[in-house]
């Protein structure tokens, strides 16, 4: 029957029907031999089910509509057939199998449920034990109980949430969740639970993030079958915070529907789960502190990236809606799965470091640390506002459907606008909103979930890789007769190179060729200079003089003026902006980053450093005492972010910052920057 790779191959073919076979192999990291083997396994399984086989030639593949329909209705779900899970799926599944247990279990039960050998089961149990320990749980074993969980009920539920989130982020994870439920003969009542949540959300006027609601429904289903086995305890402070929230009434009503005689603690726990996936609105959290934090975070990010946000009102509302559920997750220790985190750090690492630094004030307010996964979603949100795109008159209109949350939706819209400047895009819609849009209002749909509409639908992800961008360009070009100058060329060029050369990294070569043909060199990754490349010895200087703040800005910019990086008018513009906008260039800890707009006189990207021995009062205000001036001349919105993220790393560490401020020569500064760079390698 089917195995993991053959099912994943089918999923890719259904999701991306216009991929070429070379692109498909690159996406799945398959050699030609591996591709042929998995295709044979897939067709063998389809044949046994009397379904049409996948047709292929050298470049294209074709999946029949009958197979697609079977896949979408889960008729092909291998939970009812033999299916081999991979290690990153088996380990969380073993935990969830134990989490739901209603009898003594041993390794033989794991073997039977997940179709694996005894040695594999033993090895997975050993690895799971280590993960459980890190999460405050002990995966214990004795003859009478078999494998069971020891520790607080809160820790057990928290780790169950992590396991469910990690599985839903994997292509075949949902199959494993179904397998666990079926192994214990539990019914899949997700539809009923979701209907109750949606009914109550209408009554209590609240919206939920689609993808996170999917996970919550699974968590509630698992909890419903586990409920009542162990007493749950929550901190008194958390109980007091949640009970006064307006959404507590909804949490209470839902808990009465799901559980028998729920305690006050259980009602609070359920309310926390709802708050953590809600789209933040004013009636959920009437406290003004988070609204103030929203404005403060925007201001601090703006100060550090040195790019003024144009539509600040929209950004503030969007950030607030994201901040409310994030606040409850952070305060109440609710884990957040972010399958995009590795891509975010790789593609937008500079902005990620800056945003993570700014979020320290939220950490202090919540008195809890913020995970990288949380910081990643904030980075996506700001990334969608940092990038510029020009408005163009267009005839084609596209709808974006992205239930993954505000930040993911915003980033997806930004990427699509950059990819298709000739198309007019709507603001991202929820599934419910999409149902109300008349068909004559759009020509195509870009969606992160399946949709059944009579217009072309392009299934996509919130954060696109270069291969996925290339796929979308080709797919839209094929359907709407856009000029597509790169698709055939990439496949042909790859074939030619393979014929005459040995390729070390086929996927990277494909990406580089695509970059070149698209003419979209990724400046953020390839050309952004390091801090040490901008702050060279000739741009670092010190002064013993007592200066006014205007004189300090002028002196800090002097090396850039003398070397042709900026015009004298740029210096005047920096001073004028402080006069008009206030001490916005003060980023804290006695550091100011004077800057103006590129059009005010920037000739090329540059940075200069001035250390004053006698602190300067910005706007003659003692609250803004400055001893370091770092003048920046930016030519666009992103090219300077790498250097600024490095600078931010100095600010985070008070010890490093103290050394930075105590430096007496340009050589001292250079040595520190080099050491910092070496330490981070």
Question: Which of 15-19, 148-152, 661-665 has the lowest average pLDDT?
Answer: 15-19
CA gap 353, 376 in Å, rounded = 10
Tokens of 642: 């790498």
- CA neighbours within 13 Å on the CB side: how many for 602? 16
Closest CA to 64 of 53, 56, 48: 53
Question: Which of 270-279, 420-429, 547-556 has the lowest average pLDDT?
Answer: 420-429
CA gap 527, 405 in Å, rounded = 31
CA torsion 282-292-328-386 (nearest 10°) is 100
Q: Residue 367, Cβ neighbours under 10 Å: how many? A: 9
Q: Residue 674 pLDDT more than 60?
A: yes
CA gap 643, 534 in Å, rounded = 8
More confident residue, 625 or 645: 625
Q: Residue 223 pLDDT more than 80?
A: yes
Q: Residue 525 pLDDT more than 50?
A: no
Give the Cα-Cα-Cα angle 197, 198, 200 (nearest 5 degrees).
65
In the prediction, which pLDDT does 515 show?
A: 62
More confident residue, 11 or 288: 11
Q: Residue 224 pLDDT more than 80?
A: yes
Q: Residue 460 pLDDT more than 70?
A: yes
More confident residue, 633 or 427: 633
In the prediction, which pLDDT does 305 show?
A: 82
In the prediction, which pLDDT does 449 show?
A: 75
Q: Quick one: average pLDDT of 100-113? A: 94
Q: Residue 308 pLDDT more than 60?
A: yes
In the prediction, which pLDDT does 679 show?
A: 64
Q: Residue 571 pLDDT more than 90?
A: yes
In the prediction, which pLDDT does 108 show?
A: 95
Residue 96 pLDDT class (50, 70, 90 cuts):
very high
Round the average pLDDT of the chain to a whole number and report it. Answer: 84
CA distances from 30 to 6, 34, 307 (A): 11, 6, 42
Question: Which of 45-59, 416-430, 522-536 has the lowest average pLDDT?
Answer: 522-536
In the prediction, which pLDDT does 174 show?
A: 85
More confident residue, 5 or 407: 5
Closest CA to 277 of 356, 352, 197: 197
Give the Cα-Cα-Cα angle 438, 443, 446 (nearest 5 degrees).
95
In the prediction, which pLDDT does 649 show?
A: 77
CA gap 278, 246 in Å, rounded = 13
In the prediction, which pLDDT does 52 show?
A: 93
Q: Quick one: average pLDDT of 473-488? A: 68
Percentage of the chain lying above the pLDDT 90 cut: 36
In the prediction, which pLDDT does 125 show?
A: 97
More confident residue, 444 or 449: 444
In the prediction, which pLDDT does 526 show?
A: 44
**C-beta contacts of 149-157 below 8 A and 24+ residues apart:** 149/98, 149/99, 152/233, 153/230, 153/231, 153/232, 153/233, 154/232, 154/233, 154/234, 154/333, 156/99, 156/230, 157/219, 157/223, 157/232, 157/269
The DSSP secondary structure of 539-563, one letter per residue, reads GEEEE-S---HHHHHHHHHHHHHHT
Q: Residue 239, Cβ neighbours under 10 Å: how many? A: 16
Most confident segment among 119-123, 324-328, 431-435: 119-123
Tokens of 326: 């994030």
pLDDT tens digits, 20-74: 787 788 777 788 888 899 899 889 888 888 889 999 987 789 999 888 888 777 6
CA torsion 433-435-437-438 (nearest 10°) is -170
pLDDT tens digits, 351-401: 898 899 889 888 888 888 999 999 998 888 888 777 543 444 457 899 998
Residues across the chain: 681
Exposed / middle / buried, residue 155 (Cβ in 10 Å: 0-12, 13-18, 19+) = middle
In the prediction, which pLDDT does 284 show?
A: 60
């Amino acid at each position: 029957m089917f195995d993991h790779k053959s099912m994943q191959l089918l999923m890719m073919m259904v999701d991306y029907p216009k991929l070429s076979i070379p692109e498909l192999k690159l996406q799945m990291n398959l050699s030609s031999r591996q591709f042929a083997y998995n295709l044979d396994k897939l067709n063998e399984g389809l044949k046994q089910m009397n379904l049409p086989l996948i047709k292929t030639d050298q470049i294209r593949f074709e999946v029949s509509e009958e197979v697609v329909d079977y896949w979408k209705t889960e008729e092909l779900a291998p939970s009812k057939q033999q299916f081999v899970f991979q290690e990153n799926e088996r380990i969380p599944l073993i935990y969830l199998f134990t989490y739901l247990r209603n009898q003594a279990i041993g390794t033989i039960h794991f073997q039977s449920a997940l179709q694996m050998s005894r040695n594999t089961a033993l090895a997975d149990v050993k690895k799971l034990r280590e993960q459980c320990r890190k999460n405050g749980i002990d995966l214990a074993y004795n003859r009478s109980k078999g494998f069971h969980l020891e520790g607080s009920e809160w820790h057990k539920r928290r780790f169950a949430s992590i396991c469910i989130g990690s599985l839903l982020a994997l292509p075949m994870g949902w199959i494993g969740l179904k397998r666990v439920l079926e192994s214990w003969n539990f019914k899949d009542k997700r539809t009923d639970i979701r209907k109750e949540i949606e009914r109550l959300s209408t009554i209590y006027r609240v919206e939920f993030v689609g993808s996170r609601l999917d996970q919550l429904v699974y968590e509630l289903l698992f909890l419903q079958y586990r409920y009542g086995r162990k007493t749950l305890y929550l901190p008194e402070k958390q109980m007091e915070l949640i009970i006064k929230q307006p959404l507590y009434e909804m949490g209470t009503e839902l808990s009465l529907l799901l559980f028998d005689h729920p305690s006050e603690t259980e009602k609070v726990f359920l309310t926390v789960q709802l708050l953590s996936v809600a789209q933040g609105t004013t009636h959920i959290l009437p406290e003004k502190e988070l609204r103030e934090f929203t404005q403060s975070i925007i201001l601090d990010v703006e100060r550090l990236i040195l790019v003024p946000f144009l539509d600040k009102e929209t950004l503030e509302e969007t950030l607030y809606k994201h901040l409310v559920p994030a606040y409850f997750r952070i305060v109440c220790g609710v884990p957040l799965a972010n399958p995009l985190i590795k891509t975010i750090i790789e593609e937008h690492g500079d902005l990620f470091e800056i945003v993570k630094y700014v979020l320290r004030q939220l950490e202090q307010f919540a008195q809890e640390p913020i995970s990288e996964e949380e910081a990643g979603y904030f980075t996506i949100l700001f990334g969608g506002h940092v990038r510029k795109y020009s408005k163009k008159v267009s005839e084609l209109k596209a709808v974006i459907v992205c239930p993954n949350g505000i930040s993911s939706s915003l980033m997806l819209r930004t990427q699509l606008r950059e990819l298709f400047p000739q198309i007019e895009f709507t603001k991202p819609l929820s599934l419910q909103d999409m149902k109300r849009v008349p068909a004559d209002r759009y020509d195509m749909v870009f969606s992160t979930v399946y949709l059944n509409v009579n217009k072309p639908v392009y299934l996509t992800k919130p954060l696109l890789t270069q291969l996925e961008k290339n796929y979308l360009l080709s797919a839209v070009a094929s359907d709407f007769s856009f000029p597509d100058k790169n698709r055939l060329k990439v496949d042909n060029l790859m074939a030619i190179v393979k014929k005459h050369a040995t390729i070390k990294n086929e996927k990277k070569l494909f990406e580089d060729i695509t970059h070149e043909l698209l003419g979209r060199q990724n400046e953020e990754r390839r050309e952004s200079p390091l801090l040490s490349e901008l702050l060279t010895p000739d741009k670092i200087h010190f002064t013993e003089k007592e200066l006014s703040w205007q004189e300090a800005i002028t002196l800090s910019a002097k090396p850039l003026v003398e070397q042709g990086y900026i015009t004298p008018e740029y210096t005047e513009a920096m001073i004028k902006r402080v006069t008009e906008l206030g001490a916005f260039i003060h980023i804290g800890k006695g550091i100011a980053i004077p800057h103006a707009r590129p059009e005010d006189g920037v000739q090329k990207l540059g940075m200069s450093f001035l250390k004053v021995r006698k602190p300067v009062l910005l706007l003659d205000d003692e609250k803004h005492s400055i001893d370091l001036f770092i003048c920046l001349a930016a030519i666009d919105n992103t090219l300077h972010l790498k250097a600024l993220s490095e600078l931010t790393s100095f600010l985070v560490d008070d010890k490093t910052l103290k050394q930075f401020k105590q430096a007496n020569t340009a050589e001292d500064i250079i040595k520190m920057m080099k050491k910092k760079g070496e330490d981070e390698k």
